[in-house]
Each structure stands twice: as C-alpha cells, then as structure tokens.
Amino acid sequence: MTRPGAETKQAGSLDPAQRADGVRARQVRRAIERQDRAALDLEMPPGAAPPRHRRSTPLRAGALAALALLSGCVAAAPVPAVSAPHSIPVPERRAATLDAAARAHPTAFLDRIGWGANAAELRQLQRLGATRFLERQLNPHAQADMPAPIAQALSQLPVRAPLETWMPRLVVAERRLRRNRRGSRGTQADAQTFQRELKALHRRMNALTREAMDDELLRAVYGRDSLRQRLIWFWVNHFNVFRGGNIGPMMDDYVRRVIAPHALGHFRSLLQATMFSPQMLLYLNNAENHRGHINENYAREVMELHTVGLGADYTQRDVTDLAHVLTGLGVDLIDRPVRVRPALRGWLWQRGLVVFNPARHDPQPERVMGHTFSGQGVGEIEQVITLLADDPATARHISLELAQYFCADQPSPALIAAMVHTWQRTDGDIRAVMRTLLTSREFSASLAHPQFKDPMRYLISAVRATVTGRIITHPQPLIGMLYRLGEPLYGRKTPDGYPLDADAWSSPGQLTVRFALAQQLAAGAPALFRSSGRGSRARPATPAPVTGSRRVSPPDLEHSAVFVASEPTLSRATRTALAQTRRRVRWNALWLSSPEFMTE
C-alpha cells in the first residue's frame, strides 16, 4: 500500500536505503519471533506441552505490518484499531509526533517510560503505536500483571501476609530476649544463648527484607505494567524511608500497600497513605512526636521534600506548628490495646499498626501556611494533607521531579507549566499529569537525546534485555549488584532519596562497576538461575526452572530483538568494536557497557 499520490515502486527498483530498511524489518521480525517462542515458556505451567507453531496467524500478520512502521522503509498499511481501556485524550498532532519519535527510537521510548525494552514490549509497541501503547500503560488494570509462575511464587512469600499478623510477634520476641538478658545471671552461657537467639531473630527479619527486594526486582524485570512499576520506584524514592531496624521487614508492605495502589492515582491519596504508614512514622520520628515532646523531623521533611518543596512560601514557624498538628499520630508495634480516658475514646483511631492517640495530641489551635487548625481528631491531620497536596507549589515541585526523571535533567518551564495546569485541572491526578508529560513535544524530542541511566534503570534494562524466555529463580545477585552500583534498594539513609540527575551517576568508578556487571550478564549470569538456597525456611518461594538443565548459556544478544531494534542508533565506534569481536560473551559485554546502552 502506498501513500495517496505516491508512485508504486517494484521491488527491483527500490534504492539501496530502502532495501537496507527492508532487511532491517525482516531482522527485527525474526528476532521477535525467536524470543516470542522462548517467552511462551514463562506462561506455561511446568510439564505443559508447548503449542504447535503455526506459520501465520492474524496477530502475527498485524505485528508484521507494524514492523514496517518501525523501519520506516515503505508506506505501511494502517494497523487495525486496537481497543484501549479509555479513549485517548491526546491531540492528533501530538499523538502523531510521539508515534513518529517512538518509531525512530523504539528502545529509547521503552527505556524512558518503563524499565527497558524487551521483545514482548517491542512487539506490542509495533502493533499499537506509541500513543496507544502509552495509554495502556497508563491504565494497567486492563492487562495481566506478571507471568503466571512468577506471580504465583511471589504470592506465596511470607512477607505478603498483613503486617499486624506477624510484625508484633517479631518485636515482642526481641523485647522478651532483651528483657530476659537483663534478668539473667550474666554467665557466659547466658550471653551465648542470647546472642544465638538474637542472631536467629535478626536473620528472620533480614530474610523478610530480602523478600521485599526480591518482589520489587522481579516485578521490575517481568512486570507488563512497566510504567506503573517505574512510577512505584519513583514514589518510593520520593517518599524515601531507610530499611534500618524494624522498617526493613515492613518494606514490602510499604511498596505494595502504601505506594503501589496510588502510583497512578491522586497525589492527595498517595500523601495520605504515606503519612499514615508505620514505615514513614517510624523513619522520620513522628511516632516520638507528642504533646510536651515535639519532634519536627517529619513536619520539616513533608514540607521540604514531599510536598511544597524547599524555597516555597513557608517559614520555620509553619514547620513547628505542623509538628504540633501531627502530634499523637504514631505506631503500635506490639498490638496492645490503647488506653485513654473515657472523654477521649471517641477520638481514638487505629488502622493496623498505626494509631492516633488523642491523649498524645496537642489540641491547641495551630496556624500552618495561613490556615488555622484546631481539633483533637484525625480529621485535623486530613485537613493539613489537603492543604499541602493542593498547594500550587506542590504541583510545581512534583511536576519538576517527574519531568527530570522521565524526560530531561533540565526540563523547560513551558513543560512544567503544562503539567501544573493539568495537575490543577484534575485535582492532582498523577495519570493525567503523566499523560501531559509523556505526550508533550519536549518528551518526543528528548528520545533523540540520550539520558544517562541511574543504576536501577541500567541494571533492570540490562537484565530485561538478556533473560528473555528464562525465569530468575535466585534474585539475590541483583541485590548485590545494586549495592555495588551505589543504589541499594531501601538503602538511602537520608530522607531526600537517591538523586535523579545524570551527573550523580557518571563517575569513573560507577562506569568501572558497570563494565564488571556487564561481563556477568554477558555470560548469562548463571547465579540468577540456581536454587534459591540450601533448604533455609527463611528463603522465599521461587518459580521452578523452565527446563531441567542447570547450565546457562550466554545469551545471543547480537540477534535479540532489543539489539536489532536499537542498532540503527549505534555510533560508528560502537559498531566497529562489535564488528571486530567474535566471542559471544565479549560481544555481549561490549554492547551492555556501550555508551548507547547506558544512555537512552
């Protein structure tokens, strides 16, 4: 099919560039077909027979037609309309600009809005076009979340149980150990027994923390809702808590129950969820903030980091008064009844491990950013949440951080203004703000200008490009890799979270570590696919290996869908280096450590 008014060329009359593009389209098609067949194993239960291969299906025909759009070699037939969860509220011209930019830079597009390209998402992008693909990512409830074996394994993790069913037992057990230690005779045998039992308890707590990390890493690698998973990480980093002490075992709850349900919802709900979470209240000491003993840590950070931002129109007096408003909001880690005098029982509030104790609350009127708050109940705190979430400074602060993370280190004032306008028009709807950002002309243009990946983005994109058709059964090496890269999960001790700009991650030491990790992944990273432990009951359930073989061969990245799609953007130096390499592991490592792979 040709464009109106265009002359039809016979195959023999195509110029060399068109023939080369046609070859590229066939290469991408074959790469995706190979990885499609491998990916089928992720969906089949153990022992099931694979479906018979058919030479042609309607879905495959649609995908082949879309491949021509990726290559840009000929005028392609229109792709049949694919129903989206909602109508796409994007102006036609902006949609066309985004679609064209994603056709020219498909792997950059998938790297920007998710955790990196893989064969499945390349196929879906080709079939739907960027605008419809994005709309599905913005509405992920309409699609499956994870391959079945991985979802089943994660659902069996002990850490998935509600916090109140196991966390108080751990805390009580440690307190009992320490109390018994103080009451013991102090003999060497008593000390050894205490240390042995305490270490066993801490191993259990550390195992729960590792389960949270396993969950997050496997969702990043295999999750089909890439944009939501990426936003979950962004919000966990924005509302940062450090995993030390009793917080570590509760991190899975923080990610899945506190952050994830609101990652694409309204910011006010997200702010309220974090403010009423035991993890945040413990980390920033609001559990110690009560009448007669004011602790301003959380009040300061919720204004400076979480909402209006440093430099907004507030004073130290506002911070102090906000701390008074937040008095009494704390945590009960041992699940004991909260006793208050009868006159205050109506104001008592408790959800899970979080409790609002009116006896610890300062009921005096306080004035925060020009608004007076007076009362004894949780309603006063909910009012201050609304004040902070609805402030225009919050819209600007959060819009700037989102634009820096997804688009460019220095986004234009016009883009931020457009995002703020959407924020105010939609009452802080994160989905709508993200749509404004990701369909903007500035975002489309940014795909041609590489953005240096932070360690989490680099590692997950490399793993997604290399593990097609295989299930990671032992995620622990990934946790260690993030430590080596300087961005361990839940490891930022200060409340500001990890930096978002490229300069923070481009040091020579960082690049050296990336080269070393690229070597491991280039060889197939066999440690990721071994048994998850030596019978330890503390280890999480993991998916069974897809095949009976324990040997992991180096992946054929040269013929992978991700490399074939990204090859046109490689520099001459990278092309030359790859062309001169014959050994597969060496070739894989060169590509994974190339400037083009580390910047998308």
pLDDT by residue (tens digit) across 286-331?
999 999 999 999 999 999 999 999 999 999 999 999 999 999 999 9
Average pLDDT over residues 566-584: 96
Average pLDDT over residues 534-538: 40
User: What separation in angstroms does the CA of 290 have from each of 178, 345, 356, 359, 362?
Assistant: 26, 17, 11, 9, 7
Please check whether residue 428 is in contact with residue 266, taking contact to mean a CB–CB distance below 8 angstroms.
Answer: yes
Q: Helix or strand or coil: residue 355?
A: strand
What pLDDT sits at residue 402? 98
* Alpha helices per DSSP H over 44-129: 58-71, 92-104, 106-113, 119-128
Q: Phi-psi region for residue 169, left (φ > 0), alpha (ψ -120 to 50) or beta? A: alpha
List residues bridging with 452 in a β-sheet: 599
What pLDDT sits at residue 542? 54
User: Which pLDDT band holds residue 46 (cuts at 50, 70, 90)?
Assistant: very low
Structure tokens at 117: 């390209």
What pLDDT sits at residue 182? 82
User: Which pLDDT band holds residue 534 (cuts at 50, 70, 90)?
Assistant: very low
Q: Tell which wins on pLDDT, 170 or 31.
A: 170
Structure tokens at 589: 């490592």
Lowest mean pLDDT among 17-31, 352-366, 411-425, 566-580: 17-31
Q: Tell which wins on pLDDT, 560 or 59.
A: 560
Res. 242: pLDDT tops 90: yes
Res. 79: pLDDT tops 80: no
Please check whether residue 123 is in contact with residue 32, taking contact to mean a CB–CB distance below 8 angstroms.
Answer: yes
Q: Helix or strand or coil: residue 239?
A: coil
User: Which pLDDT band holds residue 184 (cuts at 50, 70, 90)?
Assistant: confident
User: Which pLDDT band holds residue 185 (cuts at 50, 70, 90)?
Assistant: confident
Residue among 319, 293, 320, 290 at smallest CA distance from 307: 319
Q: Tell which wins on pLDDT, 367 or 26.
A: 367
User: Which pLDDT band holds residue 31 (cuts at 50, 70, 90)?
Assistant: low
Res. 107: pLDDT tops 80: yes
User: Which pLDDT band holds residue 375 (cuts at 50, 70, 90)?
Assistant: confident
User: Which pLDDT band holds residue 64 (cuts at 50, 70, 90)?
Assistant: very low
Residue among 224, 310, 302, 225 at smallest CA distance from 270: 302
What are the respective helix, strand and coil percentages of the chain, to the nearest 5?
60, 5, 35
Average pLDDT over residues 525-530: 92
- CA–CA–CA angle 173, 178, 179 (5° rounding): 95
Q: List CB contacts of 442: < 8 A, sequence separation 6 or more.
A: 407, 408, 411, 412, 414, 415
Average pLDDT over residues 453-477: 95
What pLDDT sits at residue 385? 98
User: What separation in angstroms does the CA of 358 have from each of 221, 287, 338?
Assistant: 45, 13, 10
Find how far residue 11's CA is from the centre of its chain: 46
Average pLDDT over residues 552-556: 90
DSSP letter assigned to residue 599: B
Lowest mean pLDDT among 209-213, 338-342, 398-402, 567-571: 338-342
Res. 56: pLDDT tops 70: no
User: Which pLDDT band holds residue 143 (cuts at 50, 70, 90)?
Assistant: low
Res. 530: pLDDT tops 80: yes
